């Protein structure tokens, strides 16, 4: 039987996640499957008697950046040990759909798919036949690619994670075909994409025990931008989409069915170095409009490249990075994927023309066509945030309270120049040091403020609040991929308005009347319970 | 100065899987790559070229390989990264060659390129691990050889100085040119091509020569020209035991300490 372990020093790490926030909890459990998840919930209910059951914070690999997995008291349910591969089917369109438990780690999934080594213990003969067919055909992969590959699939679904390739493939959402969700009361909902849809803004669900739920969905409209802020809501929406990106507040994901895709025959990554940011935006817009094989468009600004240059000069891990010419002020990374080499070459030639038309040069590029070169570019892209973290760690030696402030906002197409102009002018006015990088193809940059003092930190927080308001006015999202968690819930009201956030809380109460799950995520505890504080 | 870099196509996977029945390498169907040691040799050649260009000394870098026709793609990639040209020795008659037979073929290729001032080879290939081609080639050319070079110090028209690894550490040596150097993998990282380089390489001509074109002695190439006899190959047996350690942190630490002590005995 799964144990409810009293929280002790041995489990302190489970009070934190990658956001560097720390919480508190009374107990922790490590269920290995759905039955154990249900058992833990039942024991927590029993322990509460007639009172409110203890809050439950669900965790996966704790790689989230919005503190969604950081407990605010009560119980921590860590699903990292629910990490089995459950089966495989081929759908009517020939798409391979893999069932996994939520604790399966992305890097391992990728490795098993590439090596054709999926663990098949307990699989049925139908599953094994589908596997044999898949292995005999073109190599498959799971397209969602957050930077942190030690993330687990359940966590990725809970925050609707994305990554560089979401430009082509979108976030987690379209790649989830099925899901099993344990509600706070232990009842289970099984969902398969396309089977249950809302009627306008009313959604009727049936649990496995036969209970019928008639949910009233919030009335807001989603932004026309990359978005991981609050519940996904749309007229006639698919029921499964409500639970994807719900930040662990509506139910506990106990099983996922993932749609795999064939690996493109040719994937070439091209780092294009340019002299100024305006040119980078123009190149981005031109690539977006004219090269349909583009899978990712990423950006690194002048400050990010300078930090990288300094770290490289210091030696150690980053000395292996290729040298960056002084004249290079910023970098646009374009990834091209297609089935034929001739087409990849013609895409590359077109990219070259776009660069030249915007003041760039075909010589100032790195083209990665081999695994070794792709790994070098991956190392380069990861070295940027790591270098920034090292810089902050250095500053924390003089003031331990200092932390990096990283934005995660997106705007619709057509507002890229506006949002960058906003960032630049306000950063300059505030006199703050920063470095920006991220998914420029989706109009989604991570602008990182690098405080030198607590005054800088406070000024940065004020700036983020202003950006949240301005980005919302542009029709954008306050969190495009990290989720809202606990750190960005104030922005949720800025984006949707307090009334709509209240509607989200009402929706939560219909599924989780005690407001037990993911307490503190998306909204303040009081608001979640029906109070007034947003 | 003409610099020739010898390059071999090797399987891209670094995790070599063996078929337990046949004891042969399981080819996973992935594309071949330039042997990483040879890639480093190419980078050093390109750096020498740049260094000499700054002084106004012209240099050409040619990549030489013996392999199947598909190796042309890899040679084209070398041109995309900055090599001036490439020569591929490709003929069924070369198949099954050991290092001595390969050396004879490469020697004939070098003769065809002509007027070679410096030959750079990777120290070894990741699939064969012999580290014999470079020294054998130096022997065939009757020129000095410096093996396992980690850093180039000086190159001029007449001489080259480099640090190379020895059993005791490293040693700075200077030899007259022409010479053969074999290069350590850590000496440099091969640069990436630019869009300009890739598009230029697509138009480049890759010279392909048969055994007859290269003027080889047919008795010294391929399987027939290989004195090496492979009597048997096998995967060494490995005993791996796994055990789960449970209990409190203190108990687990005690158990780990006991296991380490047992292993050290």
| Domain CATH for B126 | 3.40.50.620
Lookup: tokens for A279? 């040119």
- This complex has an ipTM of 0.88
pLDDT at B25: 58
H/E element holding A428?
Answer: helix A416-430
Asked if A352 and B196 come within 8 Å (Cβ–Cβ), the reply is yes
pLDDT at A232: 97
A348 contacts chain B (CB < 8 A): yes
pLDDT at B20: 58
- Across the range A345-353, mean pLDDT stands at 98
Q: Does residue A506 carry a pLDDT above 50?
A: yes
The partner residue sitting opposite B196, judged by closest CB among A363, A369, A377, is A363
Q: Does residue A316 carry a pLDDT above 90?
A: no
A478 is a domain residue: no
pLDDT tens across A372-425, in order?
999 999 889 888 888 888 888 888 888 888 888 999 999 999 999 999 999 999
The partner residue sitting opposite A345, judged by closest CB among B192, B194, B202, is B202
B258 is a domain residue: no
A136 contacts chain B (CB < 8 A): no
The CB density around residue B30, as the number of other CB atoms within 10 Å, is 12
Tell me the CA distances in angstroms from A116 to A134, A340, B26, B100, B165, one per residue in order: 9, 24, 13, 38, 40
pLDDT above 90: percentage of residues in chain B = 78
Average pLDDT, chain A: 94
Residues of B in contact with A371 (CB under 8 A): 12, 33
pLDDT tens across A106-148, in order?
999 999 999 999 999 999 999 999 999 999 999 999 999 998 8
Number of structural domains in chain A: 4
Does residue A116 share a domain with residue A196? yes
A16 is a domain residue: yes
Does residue A520 share a domain with residue A441? no
Query: What is the domain range of residue A14?
Result: 5-78
B39 is a domain residue: yes
- For strands A444-449 and A434-439, give the pairing: antiparallel
pLDDT tens across B89-113, in order?
999 999 989 999 999 999 999 999 9
Q: B-contacting residues of A 4-33, CB under 8 Å?
A: 10
Asked if B192 and A320 come within 8 Å (Cβ–Cβ), the reply is no
Instruction: Find out whether B147 and B173 touch, Cβ atoms under 8 Å.
Output: no
DSSP A209-222: TS-EEEEEPP-PPP
The partner residue sitting opposite A351, judged by closest CB among B191, B193, B195, is B195
A229 is a domain residue: yes
Mutation for B interface: A265, A373, A383, most B CBs within 10 A = A373
Model confidence at A360, pLDDT cuts 50, 70, 90, reads very high
Does residue A298 share a domain with residue A257? no
B124 is a domain residue: yes
Does residue A316 share a domain with residue A441? yes
A484 is a domain residue: no
Number of structural domains in chain B: 1
pLDDT tens across A155-193, in order?
999 999 998 999 999 999 999 999 999 999 999 999 999
A533 is a domain residue: no
Model confidence at A314, pLDDT cuts 50, 70, 90, reads confident
A200 is a domain residue: yes
Closest-CA distance of chain B to residue A311, Å:
18
Asked if A370 and B33 come within 8 Å (Cβ–Cβ), the reply is yes
A41 is a domain residue: yes
Q: Which of A38, A59, A78 is the last residue of a domain?
A: A78
pLDDT at A493: 92
Query: What is the domain range of residue B79?
Result: 2-220
Does residue A510 share a domain with residue A463? no
Does residue A216 share a domain with residue A69? no
Does residue A99 share a domain with residue A15? no
Residues of B in contact with A365 (CB under 8 A): 194-196
| Domain CATH for A189 | 3.30.465.10
Q: Where are the alpha helices (DSSP H) in A101-152?
A: 106-115, 125-136
Tell me the pTM. Answer: 0.89
Lookup: tokens for B231? 């009597």
pLDDT at A73: 94
pLDDT above 90: percentage of residues in chain A = 86
pLDDT at A269: 97
Model confidence at A534, pLDDT cuts 50, 70, 90, reads very low
B9 contacts chain A (CB < 8 A): no
pLDDT at B134: 96
The partner residue sitting opposite A367, judged by closest CB among B33, B39, B194, is B194
pLDDT tens across A431-483, in order?
999 999 999 999 999 999 999 999 999 999 999 999 999 999 999 999 999 99
Q: From CA A215, how far away is CA A179, in angstroms rounded?
A: 18
Does residue A320 share a domain with residue A172? no
Q: From CA A159, how far away is CA A522, in angstroms rounded?
A: 11
Q: From CA B83, how far away is CA B48, in angstroms rounded?
A: 12
A161 is a domain residue: yes
The parts of chain B modelled with pLDDT lower than 70 are: 13-30
B250 is a domain residue: no
Does residue A253 share a domain with residue A292? no
B72 is a domain residue: yes
pLDDT above 70: percentage of residues in chain A = 99
Asked if A373 and B192 come within 8 Å (Cβ–Cβ), the reply is yes
Chains A, B: CB pairs < 8 Å: 58
Does residue A210 share a domain with residue A316? no
């Amino acid at each position: 039987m799964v144990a409810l372990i009293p929280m002790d020093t041995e489990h302190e790490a489970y009070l934190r996640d990658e956001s560097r926030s720390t919480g508190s909890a009374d107990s922790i459990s490590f269920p290995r499957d759905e039955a154990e998840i249900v058992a833990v919930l039942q024991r927590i209910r029993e322990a509460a008697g007639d009172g409110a059951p203890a809050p439950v914070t669900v965790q996966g690999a704790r790689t989230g950046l919005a503190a969604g997995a950081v407990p605010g008291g009560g119980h921590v349910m860590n699903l990292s040990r629910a990490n089995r591969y459950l089966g495989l089917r081929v759908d009517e369109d020939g798409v391979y759909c893999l069932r996994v438990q939520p604790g399966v780690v992305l890097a391992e999934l990728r490795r098993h798919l590439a090596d054709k080594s999926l663990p098949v213990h307990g699989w049925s003969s139908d599953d094994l036949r589908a596997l044999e067919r898949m292995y005999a055909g073109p190599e498959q992969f799971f397209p969602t690619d957050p930077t942190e590959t030690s993330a687990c699939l359940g966590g990725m679904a809970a925050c609707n994670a994305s990554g560089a390739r979401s430009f082509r493939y979108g976030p987690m959402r379209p790649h989830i075909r099925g899901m099993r969700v344990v509600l706070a009361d232990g009842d289970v909902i099984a969902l398969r994409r396309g089977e249950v849809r809302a009627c306008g803004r009313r959604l009727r669900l049936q649990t496995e025990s036969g209970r019928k739920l008639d949910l009233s969905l919030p009335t807001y409209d989603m932004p026309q931008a990359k978005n991981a802020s609050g519940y996904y809501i749309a007229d006639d929406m698919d029921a499964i989409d409500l639970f994807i990106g719900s930040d662990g507040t509506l139910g506990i994901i106990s099983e996922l069915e993932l749609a795999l895709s064939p690996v493109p025959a040719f994937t070439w990554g091209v780092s294009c170095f340019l002299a100024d940011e305006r040119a980078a935006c123009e190149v981005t817009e031109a690539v977006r409009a004219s090269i349909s094989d583009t899978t990712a468009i990423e950006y690194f600004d002048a400050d990010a490249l300078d930090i990288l240059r300094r770290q490289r000069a210091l030696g150690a891990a980053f000395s292996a990075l290729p040298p960056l010419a002084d004249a290079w002020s910023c970098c646009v990374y374009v990834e091209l994927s297609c089935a034929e080499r001739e087409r990849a070459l013609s895409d590359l030639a077109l990219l070259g023309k776009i660069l030249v038309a915007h003041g760039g040069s075909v010589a100032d590029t790195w083209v990665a066509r081999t695994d070794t070169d792709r790994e070098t570019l991956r190392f380069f892209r990861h070295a940027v945030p790591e270098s920034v973290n090292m810089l902050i760690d250095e500053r924390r030696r003089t003031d331990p309270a200092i932390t990096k402030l990283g934005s995660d906002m997106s705007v619709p197409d057509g507002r890229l120049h506006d949002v960058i102009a906003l960032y630049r002018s306000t950063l300059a006015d505030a006199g703050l040091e920063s470095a920006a990088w991220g998914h420029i193809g989706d109009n989604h940059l991570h602008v990182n403020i690098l405080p030198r003092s607590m005054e800088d930190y406070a000024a940065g927080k004020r700036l983020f609040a202003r950006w949240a308001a301005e980005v919302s006015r542009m029709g954008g999202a306050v969190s495009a991929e990290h989720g809202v968690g606990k750190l960005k819930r104030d922005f949720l009201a800025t984006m949707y308005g307090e009334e709509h956030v209240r509607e989200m809380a009402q929706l939560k109460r219909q599924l989780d009347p005690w407001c037990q799950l993911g307490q503190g995520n998306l909204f303040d505890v009081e608001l979640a319970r029906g109070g007034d504080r947003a | 100065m003409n610099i020739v870099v010898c390059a071999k196509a090797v399987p891209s996977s670094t995790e070599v899987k063996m078929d337990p029945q046949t004891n042969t390498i399981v080819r996973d169907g992935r594309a071949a790559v330039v042997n990483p040691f040879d890639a480093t040799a190419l980078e050093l050649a390109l750096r020498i070229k740049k260094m000499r260009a700054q002084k106004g000394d012209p240099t050409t870098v040619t990549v030489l390989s013996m392999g199947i026709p598909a190796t042309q793609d890899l040679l084209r990639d070398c041109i995309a990264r900055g090599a001036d040209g490439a020569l591929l020795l490709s003929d069924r008659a070369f198949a099954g060659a050991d290092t001595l037979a390969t050396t004879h073929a490469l020697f004939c290729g070098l003769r065809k390129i002509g007027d070679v001032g410096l030959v750079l080879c990777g120290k070894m290939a990741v699939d064969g691990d012999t580290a014999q081609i470079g020294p054998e080639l130096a022997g065939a050319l009757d020129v000095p050889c410096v093996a396992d070079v980690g850093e180039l110090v000086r190159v001029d028209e007449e001489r080259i100085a480099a640090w190379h690894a020895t059993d005791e550490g490293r040693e700075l040596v200077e030899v007259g040119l022409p010479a053969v150097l074999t290069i350590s993998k850590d000496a440099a990282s091969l640069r990436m091509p630019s869009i300009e380089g890739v598009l230029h390489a697509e138009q480049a001509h890759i010279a392909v020569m048969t055994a007859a074109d290269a003027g080889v002695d047919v008795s010294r190439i391929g399987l027939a020209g290989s004195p090496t006899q492979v009597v048997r190959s096998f995967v060494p047996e490995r005993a791996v035991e796994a055990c789960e350690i449970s209990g409190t942190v203190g108990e687990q630490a005690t158990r780990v300490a006991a296991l380490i002590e047992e292993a050290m005995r």
